[in-house]
């Protein structure tokens, strides 16, 4: 990605976060985080990845609500940004946070059966064997 597309993507990310929290609060989506924005080289298409915290509805339903308001979001984005073309934005659920949380749970589950300091006793026995030689 060129520097220009990166800057535009970052600005779109900030503007979308503002629009979703202020202008579309009536959707009751909880805390919406725009995790990343990917934009095409010609700046005409963008993909926005969102995550939701404190929401009782499934993420897919929230994304559907937002996608139904794409035209309104694009219009608000056009008012806030000075671009020749306001990109067409598609919204997707970013499940990286859930995936990372699940991996963390699995690691904790694996390590819960270990006795604290058991690694040290194994190393201490090896050191004792070397000293006996």
Residue 92 pLDDT: 93
- What CATH number corresponds to the domain at position 22? 3.30.300.20
Domain count for the chain? 1
Q: Look at residue 122 and tell me if it is in a domain.
A: no
Q: Look at residue 20 and tell me if it is in a domain.
A: yes
Q: Look at residue 38 and tell me if it is in a domain.
A: yes
Q: Look at residue 110 and tell me if it is in a domain.
A: no
CA 32 – CA 53 distance, rounded (Å): 7
List the domain range (segments joined by +) for residue 61: 3-94
User: pTM value?
Assistant: 0.70
**pLDDT for 6-55, tens place per residue?**
999 999 999 999 998 888 777 777 788 899 999 999 999 999 999 888 77
**pLDDT for 93-127, tens place per residue?**
987 766 677 787 888 888 887 766 555 444 554 55
Q: Look at residue 133 and tell me if it is in a domain.
A: no
């Amino acid at each position: 990605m060129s520097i220009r597309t990166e800057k535009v993507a970052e600005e779109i990310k900030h503007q979308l976060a503002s629009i979703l929290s202020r202008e579309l609060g009536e959707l009751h989506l909880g805390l919406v985080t725009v995790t990343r924005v990917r934009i095409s080289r010609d700046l005409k298409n963008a993909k926005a990845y969102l995550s939701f915290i404190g929401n009782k509805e499934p993420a897919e339903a929230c994304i559907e609500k937002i996608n139904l308001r794409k035209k309104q979001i694009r219009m608000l984005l056009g008012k806030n940004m000075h671009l020749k073309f306001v990109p067409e934005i598609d919204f997707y659920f970013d499940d990286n946070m859930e995936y990372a949380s699940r991996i963390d749970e699995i690691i904790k589950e694996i390590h819960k059966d270990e006795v604290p300091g058991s690694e040290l006793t194994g190393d201490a026995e090896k050191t004792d064997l070397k000293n006996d030689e």
